[in-house]
Amino acid sequence: MIKFPKDKIQANFKVQEYQKQHNQDILKIFQGHQDIVTSLCILESSKFASAGGDQIIRMWEIDTGNQIGNMHGHLKDIWALVKIKDCFLASASADKTIRIWNYDILKCIKIFHGHTDIIKCLCFCENQGLLVSGGGDNKIKFWNMEELKWSMIAHNGMVRCLCYDKKGFLISGSADSTLKVIDLEDFSVASVLNGHFGDVLCVCYVKDEIVASGGSDKKIIVWNYLKGIQVKQFIEGHFEGINCLHYCKGYLVSGGSDKICVVWDMKGNMRNKIKVHANIVSCLAFIERRNLILTGSWDQCIFVEYQL
């Protein structure tokens, strides 16, 4: 993995610049990763986990900014984190494995093998008790926390992103430019969503029958996924690919390879544009109880940078 030793210095300058221009405080900067940050996961209202190219899962306390623990085990870059339940966290890596961790005691309790290429995304389907993974072998795999339950070749390209709607549907996005809606009752493909020109890099559940996706084509598309139709496109905001999306309290937040985060209302209007990172914005997380947005970047930094 390529490292960017000057990015942390540039990030600090950008924070100072942004605060002067916008008269808005960046609440905290978390620094500790020695390579790119690729994934963030909220554990509690006061704690979160991060991971990336240095192959370490780091645990942080929001209020103090302190790193309170780390977990080692993966042999290559970590690309995804998801909280499962209670004190358990899952991680996925370019080493083709999924690890389950008890983050209270900072120990790996299980390793899943099955993918034959990099694993790029994870999703936990709470109602079904299923952990879902997708990756470079074009497969989506469903795990019941003990073993592999089902595997399917869902796409003609890498599976880049996943989200879950709690009604029993999984939505996957791929390098083949499509999103697929999968019925978790029988693992059948309920519909295919076409509209992106290039990789679908991120997808998030919004509400009701609505999801939003972002791609290398710089577009955000809002879908009614059960009807298989586009509701709206957000096309003016990012200058490069959109890597991450998060919906929170009526707003959609996007992060891109242009180093920018954009806050949108659901009509497609830009409400804020945040330029603080010195490299690609790769991941987002939201602490709903505290209205805090966290962003992670290839500049090796994590910011708590905005309150909705």
Which pLDDT tens digit goes with each residue over 65-118? 899 999 999 999 999 999 998 899 999 999 999 999 999 999 999 999 999 999
Lookup result for tokens 């074009």? 138
Supply the pTM of this predicted model.
0.91
The domain limits of the chain are 1-31+241-308
- Give me the mean pLDDT over the 47-74 stretch: 96
Residue 21 pLDDT grade (very low, low, confident, very high; cuts 50, 70, 90): low
DSSP 116: S
Radius of gyration over every alpha carbon of the chain, rounded to an integer in angstroms = 18
CB 44 within 8 A of CB 302: no
* Cα distance from N-terminal residue to C-terminal residue, the chain: 34
- Give me the mean pLDDT over the 6-15 stretch: 55
- Dihedral of alpha carbons 261, 251, 57, 79, sign: negative
Lookup result for tokens 């929170």? 248
CB 67 within 8 A of CB 59: yes
Q: Tokens for 289, please give them.
A: 């109880």
Alpha-carbon gap, residue 270 to 266, rounded angstroms: 9
Alpha-carbon dihedral 195, 269, 22, 289, rounded to 10 degrees? -80
DSSP 75: S
DSSP 14: H
- Give me the mean pLDDT over the 113-134 stretch: 97
The pLDDT of residue 3 is above 50: no
Q: Which fold has domain 1-31+241-308?
A: Thrombin, subunit H (2.40.10)
